[in-house]
Structure 1
């Protein structure tokens, strides 16, 4: 069975990552892993750091890791805006591990609430990257 396509644009802070049709979009939201198909009800939701999957009309799949952002779905069109978006090939495991270690250390230090939230976000991004690369962080 052929699934109906919808327009999808994925924007990272520094580039357009994807701008084409898709038949399924899967992102991490505060409610868990969420899938969007054609004719989905209009929605705006937060996107959490983690895996983002795009199934294309030819049934191929694109998997990336993304950072914080939003997803908007309306009138058979989805727009995902995230701070980072990287493929397996673009991801540097060593840098992700170093970022995770730095964020973990910052969380142990006395910080303002704003600094603490920024450290939490950095740690979540680094953890998502490490999990996407399949590396055990412990």
Structure 2
């Protein structure tokens, strides 16, 4: 089955991560996962922490660990602006595990000056990176 492509651009804080045609984008919205296909209705959505998957016109899936940002869909042009983005195959799992352990320690050995929300988000981002890297292995 032929799936019609749309233009997709993913922009991280310091570079364009992806700029090509795609047939599908699955992303973690703050209210749950959503998928964009050809002729999707106009949309502006906020991203949460999770796995973003692109299906290229060649039929290949590419996974990314993302946290925060926005997706704009308009006239078969999709722009994703992300706070953090890392390709699955580029994730350093040992570094992600160390970040998870640090966040866990901060959450369970609380001192008065700990920013609990920041530690929780750090823990969730590290877990996400580990999960996304695990699927790529």
Give the Cα separation in 2 of the matches to 1:37 and 1:110: 47
Instruction: State the secondary structure of the residue aligned to 1:83.
Output: strand
Residue 99 of structure 1 is matched in structure 2 by 99
Instruction: State the secondary structure of the residue aligned to 1:84.
Output: strand
Query: Does structure 1 residue 126 correspond to structure 2 residue 110?
Result: no
Give the deviation of 1:134 after TM superposition. 2.5
1:1-138 aligned within 5 A: 1-108=1-108, 109-110=110-111, 115-134=115-134
**Structure 1: runs of 5+ lacking an equivalent:** none
TM-score (norm 1): 0.86
Q: Which runs of 4+ in 1 moved over 3 A?
A: 110-113
Give the Cα separation in 2 of the matches to 1:111 and 1:59: 51
Tell me, yes or no, if the aligned pair for 2:6 and 2:21 is still in contact at 8 Å: yes
Give the deviation of 1:30 after TM superposition. 2.5
**Structure 2: runs of 5+ lacking an equivalent:** none
Count residues in correspondence. 134
Give the deviation of 1:124 after TM superposition. 1.4
Give the Cα separation in 1 of the matches to 2:49 and 2:112: 22
TM-score (norm 2): 0.87
